[in-house]
Amino acid sequence: MAESMAGLHRTHRCTELSEANIGENVTVMGWVQRSRNKGSIIFTDLRDRSGILQIVFEEENCGNEYYEKAGKLHAEYVIAVEGEVRARSAVNDKIPTGHIEIVAKTLRILAEAETPPFPIEENSKTREDLRFKYRYLDLRRPDIQRNLMTRSKIANVARNFFAEEGFLEVETPTLIKSTPEGARDYLVPSRMHPGNFYALPQSPQLLKQLLMVAGYDRYFQIARCYRDEDLRADRQPEFTQVDMELSFVDVEDVIDVNERFLKKLFKEVKGIDIPTPIQRMTWKECMERFGSDKPDIRFGMELKNVSDVVKDSEFVVFKSALEAGGSVRGINVEGQGEMPRKKIDALVEFAKGNGAKGLAWLALKEDGTTKSSFAKFLTPEIEKALIEAMGAKAGDLLLFAADRNKIVFQVLGALRLEMARQLELTRKDDYRFLWVTEFPLLEWSDEEERFVAMHHPFTMPMEEDLDKIDTDPGAVRAKAYDITLNGNEIGGGSVRIHQGHIQEKMLEVLGFTKEKAQEQFGFLLDAFKYGVPPHAGLAYGLDRLVMLMVEADSIRDVIAFPKVKDASCLMMEAPSEVDVKQLDELGIAVKPQEETAEKDAE
């Protein structure tokens, strides 16, 4: 039976006590981590969010009644204990309170507890579905608690930094206009306008630009965003952005304020000094050297373009790639020349999984011989030149991809990361930042058979490329930038177009008719008529940033109540069916399963 805490007042959290408190009478409250009898003494580990504290129940100190009650304690009972702090005879150096214990005088059981479906312990091995069904128990794990405490601190440091820099926190609405292109918008039916829908924002992009039009100068928000798409390992239907926008600035201003932010954040939260200025690399260089627009620069293994070296070879894979305008590139996996054939075959499969037709490999054995999937098609001269071009020595393994550049980068970029993973080349606490700049403004979509915006349609082209927007749109670079950390894009942004005529040109290149542009972005285009300042912005993905800072493996470990892969919440059992009456009021109906299925089959 749950007792009341009436008359009691907690004086300390568990680890707020130390040897300095010896002799004091204190009241502590929390959860029983474990409780066991040793001879005539009952030892109880009390847990709260601060840590663990040992309580001892001795009949001569707490009397028979409390002693008997203490004998009934089980894991996860919630208790309140009054007692005296005393030095511990058997010191435990593993916990901060290991030099003291509380000699209990009274005990109240504030709540009993059934045995939890899994133990509350660090680095739980419990199945995720069980953890997420009982997330309120999973959240008791000290590692998850530390993660969420760090997340809280990160948000606090961020807000204070940007406030001090003159950013205003402005809340933007989350019931906004649904746009025809918003295939990934979550929709929200409206009771007051049956048959009409709001959309939940994928980002506050247009609204923060309007705040610049409205003269707010510097805007900041930790904003909830939404995307209704298939969940990859590290995506959530709702996620959080650290979002900002600045007026009367150019690229350098945005980079400057954010480098100072990251420096402060890592210093205050991790005690780590980030060297600034942070390294920068153009998108083009990133792709050429790392096969990725978010390169992990904690290790080398850079891509080498060997197209020239092999251009006269008879190997048909290389030949046809080059003839089709592609390239042949490789990476040197140093010291892996003796990799067993089976593991190499697995790498070939991995490459295929990443879009390659195959993977050419060449192993330089320790004994000076080579083994290769394709050397038989090469002259000894070309093989030698190739090894030289790759900077390889005995004992190295060379992996080559030959295809369109896009595929080559994709395959070797992925292989490079996979090798680093297998060879454990990186440490999570080695934080290497990189600005990626000069992104292409547009990228060709095979699917839509038109150019689409690489960042978004409001991104400013680089002035020096403006004249190419009609003649060679794919070659126009954007004033866009990403900030990457250890192979993750943690933030990105751009200078925005603030000139009506450039914005119209951009929408035209993207295939918008005047009418469609007006329908979709009318309020923004209208706003641009009334005096819009030059402006630029950036947004961080907070979930990922926190994940990297706490060295977790998944953003689900830094979100209090995450959704699982099918976008459902196992704890609340959401989404779920609702009353027909509710839907009636919204002017909508659920389509019978058959009907939906038929449509799908059409």
Residues 575-594 that bind a copy of itself (CB under 8 A): 575-579, 582-584, 586-591, 593
Rounded to whole angstroms, what are the CA distances from 535 to 248, 249, 397, 471, 497? 6, 6, 48, 27, 8
Q: Is 544 annotated as a binding residue?
A: yes
Check binding of 136 to a copy of itself (CB under 8 A).
yes
Check binding of 448 to a copy of itself (CB under 8 A).
no
Q: Is 489 annotated as a binding residue?
A: yes
Structure tokens, 283: 């998108």
For a copy of itself, the binding residues in 527-566 under the rule CB under 8 A are 527-534, 559-563, 566
From 24-32, 314-322, 325-333, 446-454, give the range in contact with a copy of itself by CB under 8 A: 24-32
End-to-end distance of the chain based on CA atoms, in angstroms?
Answer: 61
Check binding of 232 to a copy of itself (CB under 8 A).
no
From 86-94, 104-112, 262-270, 389-397, give the range in contact with a copy of itself by CB under 8 A: 104-112
What is the β-pairing status of strands 197-200 and 218-226?
unpaired
Nearest approach, Cβ of residue 93 and a copy of itself (Å): 24
For a copy of itself, the binding residues in 142-161 under the rule CB under 8 A are 145, 148-149, 151-152, 155-156, 159-160
Check binding of 121 to a copy of itself (CB under 8 A).
no
From 222-230, 306-314, 396-404, 478-486, give the range in contact with a copy of itself by CB under 8 A: 222-230
Check binding of 504 to a copy of itself (CB under 8 A).
no
Nearer to a copy of itself, 241 or 327 (CB): 241
Length of the chain: 602
Size of site (CB under 8 A) for a copy of itself: 132
For a copy of itself, the binding residues in 39-58 under the rule CB under 8 A are 47-49
Check binding of 498 to a copy of itself (CB under 8 A).
yes
Nearer to a copy of itself, 370 or 568 (CB): 568
Nearest approach, Cβ of residue 67 and a copy of itself (Å): 21
Which is nearest to 205 in space by CA: 458, 386, 14? 458
For a copy of itself, the binding residues in 330-349 under the rule CB under 8 A are none
Q: Where are the alpha helices (DSSP H) in 249-364?
A: 251-270, 283-290, 307-310, 316-323, 341-353
Nearest approach, Cβ of residue 337 and a copy of itself (Å): 46
* Bridge partners for 31 per DSSP: 47, 78
Nearest approach, Cβ of residue 208 and a copy of itself (Å): 10
Check binding of 110 to a copy of itself (CB under 8 A).
yes
- b/e sequence 165-199, b meaning 16+ C-beta within 10 Å: eebeebebebebbeeeebeebbebbeeeeeeebbb
Q: Are 497 and 459 spatial neighbours (Cβ–Cβ below 8 Å)?
A: yes
Nearer to a copy of itself, 429 or 598 (CB): 598
- b/e sequence 507-522, b meaning 16+ C-beta within 10 Å: bebbebeeeebeebbe
Nearest approach, Cβ of residue 120 and a copy of itself (Å): 9
Rounded to whole angstroms, what are the CA distances from 357 to 286, 337, 404? 23, 23, 11
Quote the CA–CA distance of 311 and 321 in Å, as a whole number. Answer: 10
Q: Is 413 annotated as a binding residue?
A: no
CA 558 to chain centre: 10
Among 22, 272, 274, 569, binds a copy of itself (CB under 8 A): 569
Quote the CA–CA distance of 101 and 52 in Å, as a whole number. Answer: 10
Check binding of 515 to a copy of itself (CB under 8 A).
no
Quote the CA–CA distance of 330 and 387 in Å, as a whole number. Answer: 10
Check binding of 494 to a copy of itself (CB under 8 A).
no
DSSP letter string, 416-463: HHHHHHHTT---TT---EEEEE--BSEEEETTTTEEEESS-TTBPBPG
Among 250, 349, 470, 551, binds a copy of itself (CB under 8 A): 250
Q: Say if residue 598 is exposed, middle or buried (CB neighbours under 10 Å; 0-12, 13-18, 19+).
A: exposed
Q: Is 182 annotated as a binding residue?
A: no
Structure tokens, 236: 């959530």
Nearer to a copy of itself, 200 or 507 (CB): 200
Nearer to a copy of itself, 195 or 325 (CB): 195
Is residue 391 classed as helix, strand or coil in its secondary structure? Answer: coil
Q: Are 443 and 459 spatial neighbours (Cβ–Cβ below 8 Å)?
A: no
Radius of gyration of the chain (CA): 30
Check binding of 2 to a copy of itself (CB under 8 A).
yes
From 97-105, 243-251, 419-427, 478-486, give the range in contact with a copy of itself by CB under 8 A: 243-251
Nearer to a copy of itself, 87 or 149 (CB): 149
For a copy of itself, the binding residues in 173-212 under the rule CB under 8 A are 173-178, 180, 183, 185-200, 207, 210-211
Which residue numbers belong to the known binding site? Answer: 181, 227-229, 236, 455, 489, 496, 541-544
Known binding-site residues for ATP equal 227-229, 236, 489, 541-544
